[in-house]
Chains A and B, each alone.
Chain A
Amino acid sequence: MSIMVGILFAIGTYLILSKTLLRIILGTSIIGHGVNLLILTMGGLKKGVPPILGLNEQYFTDPLPQALILTAIVINFATTALFLVLSYRAYSVVGSDDIEQLRGFDDE
């Protein structure tokens, strides 16, 4: 699992460092998945039944990492969507998705 997290982070970092906006967005979402996987791994992987009162089992899984991941996924979904809209707007205003073109103020 942790190796997988490392791979996802590496891919994400590579994509973020590239020049195209779309690749950068893909990179952030891949890193987001890496982070979710990391939370799952760090929460400890163990066998057990769902933590619901009334089940007479000895081992329960820890629900917290899953709750965290669910929240993180929702937030990640929202920010990625927003980022997509934003870069689409930037693309239509600037006319390019190359971030080298995205610099340049009037006064520099």
Chain B
Amino acid sequence: MEIAKNLMIILLTGILTENFVLSKFLGICPFLGVSKKLDSSIGMGAAVTFVMVCASLVTYPIYYGILVPLGIEYMNTIAFILVIAVFVQLVEMVLKKYMPPLYKSLGVYLPLITTNCAVLGVTLLNLTKDYDLLESVVNSFGAGLGFMIAMIIFSGVRSRLERCDIPKALQGAPITLMAASIVSLAFIGFGGVVDGIFGG
């Protein structure tokens, strides 16, 4: 019971209170770049969630099985980014060969993910928080879902924005950032929700 509660806290924290995009500022480029349509938001969110979960599954044994015994923990950034880059390529090839329908819906987003700071960020975060394998996976899943929810909400906001008459200097990136600011403001409202549910 205690474990399940702990995992629920990690999951909900990742989705709501410490949302990766809106409070940690990771993965801003895809958040602002690919959120124009609902379909692409869902696709990108799903692809990021998938890669995040797999990346934390892969990097955990590499860190505790190779880097720690050799005493070269400081190499974690290099090791992780390499693993993520290779892994994304591999996923792309496997999907293309064996699961063409899935490749069609997620394939476009995969090249964007290699240099996505959210994926490297979540693996590094798992280390700084000392999560074990199960907690790491749950945390990555929560972070990915949080990313997807933020993307979906924001795509709705943007489809409204497109029909607005915006002052010239604010068109393009500025108004997008300001809209993101208001969405982020809404997520501040979730502060304390997780503690409230589980009694702190």
Q: Do A and B bind each other?
A: no
B residues adjacent to A (C-beta < 8 A): none
